[in-house]
Structure 1
Amino acid sequence: MQQQSSPTSATKRIGFIGLGSMGSQMARNLCARGFRVKGFDVRADARAVLEENGGTWAGSVRDVASDCDFLLLMVVNVVQAEQILFQSGALDALPATATVVLMATCPAAEVERIATQVAAKGRRFVDAPVSGGVAGAASAGLTIMAACDADTFGLARSVLEAMGDKVHHVGERAGQGALVKTINQLLCGVHLAAAGEAVALGAKAGIDPRILIDILSQSSASSWMLRDRGARMVASEPKVTSAIDIFVKDLGIVLDAGLRLRAPTPLASVAQQMFLAVSGQGSGQIDDSQVVRAYRAMTAESGGSEP
């Protein structure tokens, strides 16, 4: 493919699809750093937020793709990414010099397949999943795990650095970024499920969960997930920053990767069952800190409300 020179950051045109709680903040940071952002989301209420932040609303995914240098996809899963690129025509609408940047958490094998189809149309592709949640998206403090050839990474780097302060080029092959994110989610899911188990065990013994969480958060037992989710575990209806069903999906991706690579993932399997238990009760859209409810159910604990 013919190499293209990189425009200055002020003239780079960004198409952004997926303006949810994280995507809207990522688009805001791009606007704040001088990029021209045109966005689209199936939720019409995303329009006001994008325009307030300096972006332009598009009427369709084809409209977003038709005049951008980089098309960023911050969608829920690989099905949505494929729908946008192939069924809804975004890939065909892209300028020949444009780059697709897939930032969703997807199975590595599926990312490889999408990258092959994008390359067959003569466009560049960056596999660039993120970690850091809504807080990281808001502060431009995301960790971004990018996999693509070195030339494409050089073109995309300033775009990625507008959204994350920890941008890593993890490999030259699409799918490698997705696999790093998969491993990240393995640890996040296991850490969170283990934190829920610890809190529920303490509650069963009559220990104030706030005191327990405060102690554990400052001890060698601490984890980022415990520090971030601990306080929400003991709230009755915490604000949703990441839903239970996200970990059902992400840990499913971990298990699939393990099968494909013939690598055992027993802890991830058990953790997924705890998230699935809460989802199976009809609560898949509540905050993922409420994985603790699965343990409470098993120990007949009715806790979770403010004492």
Structure 2
Amino acid sequence: MGRGTALALHERGLDILGCDIAGQARQAFEAEGGRSVATPSELAACEIVVVLVVNAEQVEAVLFGEQGVAARMAPGSLVIQCATVAPAFARDLGARLEAMGLAMLDAPVSGGAAKARSGELSVMASGAPTAFDRAAPVLDAMAATVYRLGDTAGVGSSMKLVNQLLAGVHIATAAEAMALGIRLGLNPQTVYEVITHSAGNSWMFENRVPHILAGDYTPLSAVDIFVKDLNLVHETGRELAMPTPVAASALQQFIAARGAGFGREDDAAVIKVYQRLSGIELHEAANDAGGE
């Protein structure tokens, strides 16, 4: 998603400097006309830094690690933090950056790699009005919709957590429903056609089941992502003394898929748990990584 967003910003005329520790990612970005660097510290001259990484640990490394950028940014600069993190982490991060004279938007995103590349993400953001004003050209270029949810860090991440609870549950449920249909002897394509025109449909069912039908588990969003995100839901619920039993059940399915070796495959590969448990037959494409 990071490269897609960087390219979308670049194509809309913004002066973009990409950063990735992976040389292959930098080469791919530069092949499409972008400029890139290998360490966050090299972004110090940027007035706005968009952090679009996997988890809180990577956010910490980008901003405060040995080659972190935060301590090198000019006072008054802006960090747009887009990773899915715990609300408590987002609140603490906002306070730490404010103490350094930096502004932050807590701005997690939804839409996946395709929407990132086309500049049509949904952004769930919170922060000071002045931060929104400064971020406007960037947000306009990367997002179809920007939700302004509040003036303080943590609100955006709280909303993203609600979204990830639903997304993870819907993917796990879609996999279970397809597995049941296949075990009942129904044609998988027919199950898809009927459900997508019936009350049981969901956006995730409609979007992810085609991966199953094609047997293509090339990761657009990986099983490992939902192990992380549903665990954040679980941990936050525990902090709030708020039970999340349905999300907890979905988390166990993703953990099972990860344990079976499918963690780096597309999140639709959670259906392979049912394949192992009940022996259902799944279509296998020629390029299926098969437990990589």
Give the C-alpha shift of residue 63 in structure 1: 0.8
The residue that corresponds to 2:68 in the other structure is 89
Q: For 1:56 and 1:231, locate their aligned partners in 2 and report how far apart those are by CA, in whole Å.
A: 35
| Residue 153 (1) aligns with residue 132 (2) | yes
SS in 1 for 2:125: strand
| Residue 207 (1) aligns with residue 186 (2) | yes
Give the C-alpha shift of residue 59 in structure 1: 3.9
The residue that corresponds to 2:56 in the other structure is 78
RMSD over aligned CA atoms reads 1.3
Q: For 2:283 and 2:168, locate their aligned partners in 1 and report how far apart those are by CA, in whole Å.
A: 20
Q: For 2:129 and 2:88, locate their aligned partners in 1 and report how far apart those are by CA, in whole Å.
A: 21
Q: Find the partner of 1:123 among 102, 110, 134.
A: 102
What amino acid sits opposite 1:276 in the alignment?
I
Q: Find the partner of 1:234 among 208, 213, 221.
A: 213
What amino acid sits opposite 2:133 in the alignment?
G
The residue that corresponds to 2:45 in the other structure is 67
Give the C-alpha shift of residue 104 in structure 1: 0.5
2:21–2:38 contact (8 Å) kept in structure 1:
no
Q: For 2:38 and 2:266, locate their aligned partners in 1 and report how far apart those are by CA, in whole Å.
A: 31
Give the C-alpha shift of residue 288 in structure 1: 0.6
Greater mean alpha carbon deviation, residues 149-158 or residues 187-196: 149-158
Q: Which runs of 5+ in 2 are unaligned?
A: 286-292
What amino acid sits opposite 2:97 in the alignment?
V
SS in 2 for 1:165: strand
Q: For 2:236 and 2:172, locate their aligned partners in 1 and report how far apart those are by CA, in whole Å.
A: 20
SS in 2 for 1:182: helix
2:223–2:262 contact (8 Å) kept in structure 1:
yes
Give the C-alpha shift of residue 201 in structure 1: 0.5
Greater mean alpha carbon deviation, residues 189-198 or residues 289-298: 289-298
Identity of aligned residues (%): 36
Report the TM-score when normalising by structure 1.
0.89
Give the C-alpha shift of residue 151 in structure 1: 1.6
The Cα offsets for residues 187-210 of structure 1, whole Å up to 9 and x where unpaired, read as 001111111111000111110111
Greater mean alpha carbon deviation, residues 43-52 or residues 144-153: 43-52
Report the TM-score when normalising by structure 2.
0.94
| Residue 37 (1) aligns with residue 12 (2) | no
What amino acid sits opposite 1:57 in the alignment?
S
The residue that corresponds to 1:246 in the other structure is 225
| Residue 223 (1) aligns with residue 202 (2) | yes
Equivalence map 1:131-146=2 (5 Å): 131-146=110-125
What amino acid sits opposite 1:161 in the alignment?
D
What amino acid sits opposite 2:56 in the alignment?
V
| Residue 197 (1) aligns with residue 156 (2) | no
Give the C-alpha shift of residue 47 in structure 1: 1.8
| Residue 166 (1) aligns with residue 145 (2) | yes
Q: Which of structure 1's runs of 4+ aligned residues deviate more than 4 A?
A: none
Q: Which runs of 5+ in 1 are unaligned?
A: 1-21
The Cα offsets for residues 133-159 of structure 1, whole Å up to 9 and x where unpaired, read as 112112211100111011211211221
2:106–2:153 contact (8 Å) kept in structure 1:
yes
The number of residues matched between the two structures is: 284
